[in-house]
Chain A
Amino acid sequence: MLKIKNLHANIDGKEILNGINLTVNAGEVHAIMGPNGSGKSTLASVIAGKEEFEVTEGEILMENESIIESSPEERAHKGIFLSFQYPVEIPGVSVTNFVKTAINESRKAQGLEEMGAKEMLKLLREKSELLGIDRKFLSRSLNEGFSGGEKKRNEIFQMAMLEPKLAILDETDSGLDIDALRVVANGVNTLRTKDNAVILITHYQRLLEYIVPDFVHVLHNGKIVKSGTKELALELEEKGYDWLKPESVV
């Protein structure tokens, strides 16, 4: 589904991604771990198309089509979803209206009719129940005055509504207490199918107890320095990231 080949990216001339290679197939869950500043969030942003980052080398293919030149919205229309570490507050636009607009813009781009009111309502009800979201919450202004947990839950709610092919969850576990983490993880697990894929970006192993990855990659200095299965995450938890320092990675 997603193929990243030798990806280099920089911001203001500072190289942050330094030759990433990654293949994610439908049905898989990949976890990307690494110390602070290793380039995890940058990788997520570059896949989603953030324009501040300049891709200097390499290729990103989504379903065998290059998306390097695509705008963030075009990538979203192709089925890429990024759950933000710090979701942005949009006063005056309710969660419901925002989600409706997002769904209908994607449908428009795919040449589909706008979703009918009845169908939309059904979907809203279904997905909000899945994530234990109160109906009143949906009429509040997007992220305005939301707690950290509410913001993250709202991100996963948007993901549930948009049904992306590839969901990238950037530090979705940060700022969540254990109950909120369970709800969010349960939501993600319920949404998993053989046709979609998930990339989890996380600093800690904790989230991976709830959303079990098929592959774990360790990012360091903008490069994947180690890949393995879920056991690698446990090893990292035990040893920390120090053993990854250049001298020990040979």
Chain B
Amino acid sequence: MDLKEKLVSSFLAFENNVDVEHSVHDIRTEAIKKFEEKGFPSRKEEEWKYTSLNTLQKVDFSIFPKTESDLDYKDVKRYFMHEIDTYKIVFVDGVYSSYLSETTHDGVDVCLMSSALSKPMYKAVIDVYFNKIASKEDSLTNLNTAFSREGAYIYIPKNKTPKKPIEILHFSTGTEAALMSQPRNLIIAEENSELQVIERHQSLTSNEVFTNAVTEIYAGKNAIIDYYKVQNDGLTASLVDNTYIDQKDGSTVDVHTFSFGGKLTRNNLNYYQNGERVNSTLRGVTIIEGKQHVDHHTLVHHIQPNNESYQDYKGIYDENATAVFNGKIIVDQIAQKTNAFQQNNNILLSDKATINTKPQLEIFADDVKCSHGCTIGQLDEEALFYLQSRGIPKKEAKALLMYAFANNVLSTVRIPELKARINKIIAKKLGVNIGFDL
């Protein structure tokens, strides 16, 4: 049985036992139908030309983990931002871990999707927001919607700011030979609220993991959301991350995506500017090697006038790594005075590494400012010689140049401890010990 058949038949077998509201059942059922029609995306589709899910579909994934497993905090502490105080929503093999989590209902809701989808007190919010901005056409999003049950639920009411950043962590423990999970997050920041989120998927063994995540983010009027995706998973873990962001007047949503680990990573980051004076910022640093593959597909849809968007993605690829950057900007006819900027810079460290980069601008308004640029190059030999001539060994010199290359993005991380952590992950990845915080 191939993966698609297995998913569809599991859905039919278990749907009656899933504890969610009726309306959610209807949404799930509609979504599985759509998924059954279209199936997994293939490389024949333009959007998936350079990323193949074929190998993953041949793996016999468990769709529901059979046993619950416990994790000791001390064994996974290093994956948490333990240097600072945070709220934590933690899942182990797709199951909520109350032991590792620290949730709250004190003025804001930082809790579980499964509660939100089943308890009447959340029905009003779910009716307004659940599966509204997420695509009804994208096959993998539909697949996630059909299986949506667990994930993070964050609701920040008007004028509120949670006391600390929120971490969303997904651990896979390898109790199943191969596990597919479909986390579903819903994040709502109402008018004038502020929010910081750090999200991470971490597999703890070399068993195969395939995560198909969907996150819906709603930024109300003047809300400010600062979101960090730390993708540093093991080399048997694959991730398709579908994030949909809805922005109202005056809101600001910044997403940083750090892609260092994983076997195959596909980020679909979609912004919809449903208001004026909106600011959308998308930044990323990708550093991969071996046979790793990272694909960033971004979409910024300028639907209303007087808005800004800014994209800056840096990539460094070694050995046989392959990467994709596809940045789509749509400016609707009424979206006058749009200011959209996109930049993608790449360094290829080996002859065999590949980057396919493509800006895709669809502009229907006439009074807009849209610019884009992309570069593909090697490390600057002259700069390398400069550093070496000061006594810095070649390996460290190369690492310094890579930091410098990614600095525009690294320097914009607003949580200092996270910035230090990212710097350390990069240093470890590059095999250097640079004796200071950059």
**Residue of A at shortest CB range from B436?**
A97
| Best-surrounded residue of A75, A97, A106 (most CB of chain B within 10 A) | A97
A75 to B410, CA, bound (A): 32
With a cutoff of 8 Å between Cβ atoms, the chain B residues found around residue A100 in the complex are: 435-436
Tell whether A109 pairs with B438 under 8 Å between CB atoms, given A90-B400, A91-B404, A91-B408. Answer: no
Tell whether A101 pairs with B436 under 8 Å between CB atoms, given A51-B385, A92-B410, A109-B391. Answer: yes
With a cutoff of 8 Å between Cβ atoms, the chain B residues found around residue A45 in the complex are: 385
Q: Which residues of B359-413 are within 8 A (CB) of A?
A: 380-383, 385-394, 396-397, 400-401, 403-404, 407-408, 410-411
Neighbour of B383 across the interface among A51, A71, A81, A88, CB < 8 A: A88
B434 within 8 A of A: yes
A105 within 8 A of B: yes
* Contact mask for chain B residues 45-67; partner A; CB cutoff 8 A; 1 contact, 0 none: 00000000000000000000000
Neighbour of B390 across the interface among A51, A52, A86, A158, CB < 8 A: A158
**B389 close to A92 (CB less than 8 A):** no
B398 to chain A, nearest CB (A): 12
Neighbour of B391 across the interface among A51, A92, A105, CB < 8 A: A105
A76 within 8 A of B: yes
A82 to B104, CA, bound (A): 59
With a cutoff of 8 Å between Cβ atoms, the chain B residues found around residue A15 in the complex are: none
**Residue of B at shortest CB range from A144?**
B404
**A92 close to B438 (CB less than 8 A):** yes
**Residue of B at shortest CB range from A98?**
B390
A200 within 8 A of B: no
**A90 close to B404 (CB less than 8 A):** yes
Tell whether A91 pairs with B391 under 8 Å between CB atoms, given A84-B386, A101-B434, A105-B396. Answer: no
A76 to B394, CA, bound (A): 12
A61 within 8 A of B: no
How many residues in B have their beta carbons less than 8 Å from beta carbons of A?
28
**Residue of A at shortest CB range from B382?**
A88
A92 to chain B, nearest CB (A): 3
With a cutoff of 8 Å between Cβ atoms, the chain A residues found around residue B390 in the complex are: 76, 81, 98, 102, 158, 162
**B435 close to A102 (CB less than 8 A):** no
**Residue of B at shortest CB range from A78?**
B391
With a cutoff of 8 Å between Cβ atoms, the chain A residues found around residue B391 in the complex are: 73, 76-77, 102-103, 105-106, 109, 162
Q: Which residues of A82-141 are within 8 A (CB) of B?
A: 82, 84, 86-88, 90-93, 97-98, 100-106, 109, 114, 141
With a cutoff of 8 Å between Cβ atoms, the chain B residues found around residue A72 in the complex are: 385, 388-389
**A105 close to B393 (CB less than 8 A):** yes
B408 to chain A, nearest CB (A): 7
B384 to chain A, nearest CB (A): 9
**B438 close to A91 (CB less than 8 A):** no
Neighbour of B435 across the interface among A50, A52, A82, A114, CB < 8 A: A114
**B438 close to A97 (CB less than 8 A):** yes
A48 within 8 A of B: yes
Neighbour of A92 across the interface among B386, B388, B404, CB < 8 A: B404
**A91 close to B407 (CB less than 8 A):** yes
With a cutoff of 8 Å between Cβ atoms, the chain A residues found around residue B381 in the complex are: 51-52
A49 within 8 A of B: yes
**B407 close to A92 (CB less than 8 A):** yes
With a cutoff of 8 Å between Cβ atoms, the chain A residues found around residue B404 in the complex are: 90-93
A121 to B318, CA, bound (A): 38
**Residue of A at shortest CB range from B385?**
A50
A244 to B425, CA, bound (A): 58
Tell whether A104 pairs with B388 under 8 Å between CB atoms, given A88-B383, A93-B403. Answer: no
**Residue of B at shortest CB range from A87?**
B386
B380 to chain A, nearest CB (A): 7
**B435 close to A93 (CB less than 8 A):** no
With a cutoff of 8 Å between Cβ atoms, the chain B residues found around residue A114 in the complex are: 435
* Contact mask for chain B residues 340-374; partner A; CB cutoff 8 A; 1 contact, 0 none: 00000000000000000000000000000000000
With a cutoff of 8 Å between Cβ atoms, the chain B residues found around residue A50 in the complex are: 385
A48 to chain B, nearest CB (A): 5
Q: Which residues of A216-230 are within 8 A (CB) of B?
A: none
Neighbour of A73 across the interface among B382, B392, B410, B438, CB < 8 A: B392
Neighbour of A88 across the interface among B380, B392, B411, B434, CB < 8 A: B380
A51 to B386, CA, bound (A): 12
**Residue of A at shortest CB range from B397?**
A73
With a cutoff of 8 Å between Cβ atoms, the chain A residues found around residue B403 in the complex are: 92-93
With a cutoff of 8 Å between Cβ atoms, the chain B residues found around residue A93 in the complex are: 400, 403-404, 438
A147 to B386, CA, bound (A): 18
| Best-surrounded residue of B392, B394, B411 (most CB of chain A within 10 A) | B392
* Contact mask for chain A residues 158-181; partner B; CB cutoff 8 A; 1 contact, 0 none: 100010000000000000000000
A100 to B438, CA, bound (A): 12
With a cutoff of 8 Å between Cβ atoms, the chain A residues found around residue B435 in the complex are: 100-101, 104, 114
B67 to chain A, nearest CB (A): 46
B394 to chain A, nearest CB (A): 7
Binding site for B on A (CB under 8 A): 45, 48-52, 71-73, 75-77, 81-82, 84, 86-88, 90-93, 97-98, 100-106, 109, 114, 141, 158, 162
| 27 A-B contact pairs sorted by A residue (CB < 8 Å) | A48-B385, A49-B389, A71-B394, A72-B385, A73-B392, A73-B397, A75-B389, A76-B391, A77-B391, A81-B389, A81-B390, A84-B386, A86-B382, A88-B386, A90-B387, A90-B401, A92-B410, A92-B438, A93-B403, A93-B404, A98-B390, A100-B436, A101-B392, A102-B392, A105-B393, A109-B391, A158-B390
Binding site for A on B (CB under 8 A): 380-383, 385-394, 396-397, 400-401, 403-404, 407-408, 410-411, 434-436, 438
Given A105-B391, A105-B396, A162-B390, list of 9 further CB < 8 A pairs? A52-B381, A73-B394, A88-B380, A88-B382, A92-B411, A93-B438, A100-B435, A102-B390, A104-B435
